[in-house]
Chain A
Amino acid sequence: MTDDTTNTDGEPQTDGGSGPDGSEADQTVRSDGGTGIVAPDDETPTWRERKERTEGLSRLTYEYFERARSEDESLRRESDYVERDVLAFPTWPHETVRNLALTSFFVGMIIFLSATLPPHIGAPANPNSTPAIILPDWYLYWSFGLLKLGPLNPELAILGGQKLMADRTYGVLANGVIVGAITVVPFINKGSARRPVEQPFWAAVGMFGVTLAFTLSMLSVKNLMPMNVHLLFDLTFLAPPVVGAITYAVLKTMREGYMYDLNRRYYRLRPPK
């Protein structure tokens, strides 16, 4: 490796396109693979080439990739996205100042809460004296309420006069049912509707869920509620369907009042270059 041709004018090629003694001629074609770290652009095999070199599952993969690319291309061509001259908001000051303002507001809110309502600490743990009121933090009340569903465990009692599972097991399983129900939502509710008015039924289901979480929480603190316990229990399961029904009725009515010239198309793509 001699260094007699010092090309001080030409920038060194960082993509492996030219060797240490890189003269202009060398930069055009390289077929020996180079360092192998970054394939020079003109050597990167196309999906078609890669496809042709492989078989089996990887061939399938490349075939799909090729397809996907052309789907992108045609969607991009059909898109009526309007090009703008403006590139973006500048990060500084626009974005930064806005984000800092939001951040300080939120953090300030937390600090304000902490300063005005600091937590206290109860008596030390004592396994020998059960306190009258045992409660987790508020966000677990709904789960705690599910443990008090004993009265709803009777269908099986008809069978043999005894329950198939303990009330507590029943409550724990109910947790699983609720989490499972939330999990499957995206796989049941498909389509492109987004706004509650476009899908009154699902909005009603949502309000049902929110109300149920709330009433279950109330049920979990039933000994603190100034209210007949049986009434509370009944309300726990009556209120959610009622709220759901009202939501449904209201949204259906609103829907009538809306004009539907909304663009329902859904853009998955970034704007074209």
Chain B
Amino acid sequence: MSLEKKDEYDHKNWLESKDLTPVEATFLTALIWVDKRLRIVDYLELLESLYYRSNLQMPKSHTEQYDLDNKFWYWYALYTLGFFSTLAYVVAAISGALLGFYYVPAVGSAGPGEASIAYSQIAFIMQDLQFGFMLRSIHRWSAQVMTAAVFLHMLRVYFTGAYKEPRELNWLLGIVLISLTMVFGYSGYLLPWDQLAFWAGQIGVEMSLSIPLIGEWVAQLLFGGFSLSQATLQRMYILHVFLLPFVVTTLIAIHIGIVWVQGIAEPH
């Protein structure tokens, strides 16, 4: 018995018998190579049936199906607000990653009223960096637009009654999402460490402290103490560029996944 491995499924002969072009042959060989190791046919098959199920046939238009006599069409534009939120989120993520190359979350040895390292990095981005002013502007605006879009999306869902059974879960998930979006905005607001940032942070600490029972614990966890310092800036930074991106991206994926599975609520 030879120690050389047998081509158990005789792929080689099969390939030859098919008389393939070089492109086809390369493709198939690569496919077989990967499939032998990871058995991807199973997943491809799954994807394929998902694809066919989701594109089964062209449905009747909403107005047709529900005999709406054109009474509802003017709502339809609002159904894109969720997509718009996602899009603004993506733009913010890209511009934010670029800003992250230059920003440093450090107060340094700056005394009261002096420019901290964080502050001077923002100043650097705005004044010296090529395209930096625009970059910061895009990041700011995409965040604002995202929040506005999310809020309007929520109103759309409310006023079209789209939160009703079986979509309660997505409504709850949405509430988590809009809250996290605001925390995203808040933590980002503190990063430039200018007067507005500092005093917004101050209010944040005081608000946390006035939560009954767990106030002090929350203030310490989120702000790293009862007064603002380097620790605050660093925590806000980690929230803003590490924790929240992972969590929010995952939740958005689940949110949209649920919409895909359940389908859009039919207006009627």
Contact = CB atoms under 8 A, between A and B. Distances in A.
Interface in B45-77: 53, 55-60, 65-68, 71-72
B87 interface: yes
Nearest to B166: A268
B65 to A, nearest CB: 8
A86 B57 contact: yes
Nearest to A14: B41
Interface in B181-221: 182, 185-186, 189, 192-200, 202-203, 206-207, 210-212
Interface in B160-185: 160-168, 171-172, 175, 179, 182, 185
A227 interface: no
Nearest to A189: B164
Contact of A121 (B8, B84, B87, B192): B192
Nearest to A199: B161
Max count, chain A CB within 10 A of own CB: residue among B83, B115, B210, B227: B210
A174 B82 CA distance: 28
A118 B198 contact: no
A177 interface: no
Contact of A139 (B41, B147, B262): B147
A130 B113 CA distance: 11
Given A206-B159, A264-B268, A119 B140 contact: yes
B212 A3 contact: no
B57 A271 contact: yes
A192 B164 contact: yes
Interface in A60-116: 81-84, 86-89, 102-103, 106-107, 109-111, 113-115
Contacts of A119: 136-137, 140
Interface string A171-204: 1110000010011011101111111101100110
A202 B155 CA distance: 12
Contacts of A124: 110, 113-116, 119, 193-195
B199 A130 contact: yes
A169 to B, nearest CB: 4
A140 B186 contact: yes
Contacts of B211: 169, 172
A131 B112 contact: no
Contacts of A210: 155
B27 interface: no
A265 B110 CA distance: 66
Given A121-B194, A183-B175, A169 B210 contact: yes
B189 A137 contact: yes
Interface stretch (B9-17, B237-245, B246-254): B9-17
Main secondary structure of the interface of A (DSSP, over half): loop
Contacts of B134: 114-115, 118
Given A125-B195, A134-B203, A189-B164, A203 B268 contact: no
A18 B113 CA distance: 78
B6 interface: yes
B94 to A, nearest CB: 10
Nearest to A112: B141
20 contacts: A6-B10, A8-B10, A38-B42, A84-B58, A84-B59, A87-B58, A88-B57, A119-B136, A123-B194, A124-B113, A124-B115, A129-B112, A134-B202, A139-B147, A172-B211, A189-B164, A194-B162, A195-B267, A262-B67, A268-B262
Interface of A: 1, 3, 6-8, 12, 14, 20, 37-38, 81-84, 86-89, 102-103, 106-107, 109-111, 113-115, 117-119, 121-131, 134-140, 144, 147, 165-166, 168-169, 171-173, 179, 182-183, 185-187, 189-196, 198-199, 202-203, 206, 210, 258, 261-268, 270-271, 273
